[in-house]
Amino acid sequence: MSHNPNLPTFTQIGIYKIEGLISRGGMSLLYLASDPKTGEPLILKVLLPKYLSEKDVVERFLNEAHIISLANHPNIVRLVDSGRWEGGLFIAMEFIKGSSLRKIFQHQPYTLKRAMDVLLQIAYA
């Protein structure tokens, strides 16, 4: 987990307890959090405060939550919750332990057959 003194630090977002900052994207922050009802780990994506006044960015963020909510496939992250909190907007998703596909392909040589198998799984999702 990373820590940057220039980024907002939260102990709670909505009802979710924040465990730490995972990463910063272009328009959002990703936090590791836990569900107070189940104790399960979650990922919370939070729109950076400077974008809350930009209608098109807010619409894209809310649309992302809506699209995730429509997906029902084992290869697509599951939406747990989304909405507004006193600091802005969030999307709560299931936590999936592992590496990104980019990191996996960078560190492990893949045969064409294995790469095609992975690509097919992505296409089915």
pLDDT at 125 over 90: no
Q: How far is CA 86 from CA 13, 45, 80, 91, 118, in A?
A: 8, 15, 19, 14, 40
Segment 59-70 shows an average pLDDT of 94
Smallest CA-to-CA distance from 91 within 103, 80, 105, 75 is with 80
> Residue with structure tokens 């992505």?
122
What distance lies between CA 90 and its chain's CA centroid?
Answer: 9
Look at residue 8 in the predicted model and tell me its pLDDT: 65
Please state the pTM of the whole predicted model: 0.80
